[in-house]
Amino acid sequence: MTQKISIPETDLVVHPLCLGGNVFGWSADGAQSFAILDAYVEAGGNFIDTADVYSEWKPGNKGGESETIIGNWMKSRGNRSEMVIATKVAKLSTRPGLSPENISAALEDSLRRLQTDYIDLYYSHEDDAKTPMEQTLLRYTELISVGKIRYIGASQHTGARLADALELSKRDGYAAYVALQDQYNLVERNPFESEQEEVVRSYGISAIPFFGLAKGFLSGKYRPGVAVDSVRADGVLSYQNEKGWALIELLDQLSRKYGSSISAISLAWLRSNPAVSTPIASARTVEQLREIVQIVELEDADIDALDRASA
């Protein structure tokens, strides 16, 4: 059985793979989403990441579709207390920003859709320079005090802004961000390594990176001359070059060595960074879920080889 991990500065104990909910209500319908969620739990999973804005971008959607599916699934399975749920505020067009009023309103919307009375990890989905940081953190502190939120995290914040928030919390006694969520993977190593990782490490909090598989490129389904039918296909065109294909070839070799999927190797490289608690990856099918949920521990030499190939 896969050993769960503790997220620093919290009492959250989670599976080493956080299941991304961005596909629910977008490229995976309700029935497909339920099957993926069931398969994740059967594999020992308990950590799901979503946002109020998922998936507003799909024609006909209004946002909140992912939360609604997850809420319906938890109600039907009766497992809310067993799950660690992360969601976010700031990016939904009808609930933008991090003003105290918007945070409270957006949280109530998310609680209703998720059919729960608390959120385990609530992220500021992006920075909001228009709202004083003190106001945002004070409102989070108030919501934690009444039990509607357990912990808060920051998504898509620069290292400098994250450090400012953490210092403000320390100085004035506000609730503090316990995690940073931003893009980080073998083909997109910055800005995390260049300016966010130092902040994460120095404050002893977690990186919980999204796009751990670089929009699917690091799953191995993209190959030279192969057309891939995916809503994300255009987003990986910049990776399809000599360096990218060489990296895929190395991942192929390592997947054979460890008897695992290429996705599992890519995610294992992320976990090898002590600053990372657990990466986020999503699955559109149960077959994809089974590939990403495999947990591999890489040898140091293989970590070094991936470091060099992706530098």
Q: Which of 98, 25, 79, 85 shows the shortest CA–CA distance to 55?
A: 25
Look up 123 and say whether it is catalytic: no
- Alpha-carbon Rg for the chain, nearest whole angstrom, is 19
Tell me if residue 122 falls in helix, strand or coil.
Answer: strand
Are 166 and 203 spatial neighbours (Cβ–Cβ below 8 Å)?
yes
Cα angle for residues 127, 131, 134 (degrees, 5° grid): 95
Residue with tokens 């294909």: 245
Looking at 40, 54, 122, 140, which residue is catalytic?
54
Alpha helix stretches (DSSP H) within 115-148: 133-145
CA-CA distances (angstroms) from residue 134 to 63, 140, 182? 28, 10, 22
> Strand locations in the chain, DSSP E?
5-6, 13-14, 18-20, 47-49, 84-89, 119-124, 149-155, 177-181, 206-207, 280-281
CA–CA dist 29, 152 (Å, integer) = 29
Q: Which of 130, 154, 150, 132 shows the shortest CA–CA distance to 141?
A: 150
Q: Which two tokens stand for residue 118?
A: 């608390």
CA–CA dist 10, 18 (Å, integer) = 16
Q: Which of 105, 50, 102 shows the shortest CA–CA distance to 73?
A: 50
CA–CA dist 295, 260 (Å, integer) = 9
Residues known to be catalytic: 54
